[in-house]
Amino acid sequence: MEPTPITLTEFMIRCGTVRHRPKIVCMDGFKMSVQGNEMAYSIPRKTGPQFSAMEIGFPSEPEDLIITYADNPADPTGTVYGYIPMKLIEQVVLKHGGINADVTFEDF
């Protein structure tokens, strides 16, 4: 049975208020860490379910939609991307076919 993709909103609801969320795995295999907490480049900088911007870290491949946010644009898969608006993160997720919940939450 083929997995059904979920949205970023569904991912956030499923994670709840955990401090460290699992790495997102998209339907096409693209992966990225999406974090928001007191140690992340997020707005607000606290643990919670509601953010206006979050940090993306270490995407599995370069992603043009977020490259201007890279701490180190010369190493697009080995850096973090700070204060990414939630709408832009959702665009990245949609570009890659949605979130594969089965794989993303496999060990969560």
Residue 34 CB coordination number (10 Å): 26
Where do the structural domains in the chain lie, given as residue ranges? 5-104
For residue 99, list its beta bridge partners. Answer: 6, 26
Tell me what the mean pLDDT of segment 38-43 comes to: 95
Find tokens 């977020």 and name the residue: 66
pLDDT tens digit sequence for 72-105: 999 999 999 999 999 999 999 999 999 999 999 9
Q: What is the mean pLDDT of the chain?
A: 95
Q: What is the pLDDT of residue 48?
A: 76
User: Residue 93 CB: number of other CB atoms within 10 A?
Assistant: 23
How is residue 77 written in tokens? 């898969």
Task: Work out the angle at residue 100's Cα, subtended by the Cα atoms of residues 75 and 37, and round it to the nearest 5 degrees.
Answer: 60
Judge residue 25's burial from the number of C-beta atoms within 10 Å of its C-beta, 0-12 exposed, 13-18 middle, 19 or more buried.
Answer: buried
Percent of the chain scored above 70 by pLDDT? 100
- Is the pLDDT at 108 greater than 90? The verdict is no
